[in-house]
Structure 1
Amino acid sequence: MKYGIKILIALDQLANALMNGDPDITMSAACYYYARIGKQKSLWRLFLYKSVNMLFFWQEDHCYQAYLSEKDRLHASEQFR
């Protein structure tokens, strides 16, 4: 994985941690989880999910793809999978 991608993932995880989320999960993945799967669904969480997806307009359902990546630990080094 390239250095720049690692930095972007770290910043995404930092954003989630600053919002009192799990520091090992990206904000994008958390947006999908809380908007679509979590028990405490709300309009705010749905708005955040849609907003993040709009930021990554070139990817189809960015938050869902981030969720799958977290679930499969695709961003982790081979030695930690």
Structure 2
Amino acid sequence: MNRSELQDAIDRHGEDLSAWPLADRDRALEFLAREPESRSLFQDAAALRTALRDQLVIRAPAGLADRIVRAALGSNPAPTSETSRA
């Protein structure tokens, strides 16, 4: 593994090494033993995740779930191939 592969793995799996697939984790740990300064990639990813989490508060509009349920209960199901032949 090299630095760019480590960055790619962090992008795919996140900054928590314990959540990584075992093979990727082992390769990352071997690389980090050789290049300990690359640990900063994990710190950067954690900082980015925290910044995004703190900035992105997305809330559904009030009553959205009720409108979806009402629409689903009031709509006719789409015809299936079996019902359209009848």
Query: By the TM > 0.5 criterion, same fold?
Result: no
Q: Which has the higher helix share?
A: 2
Higher relative contact order (CA 8 A, sep 6+): 2
TM-score with structure 2 setting the length: 0.31
Query: Which structure has the larger Rg over C-alpha atoms?
Result: 2
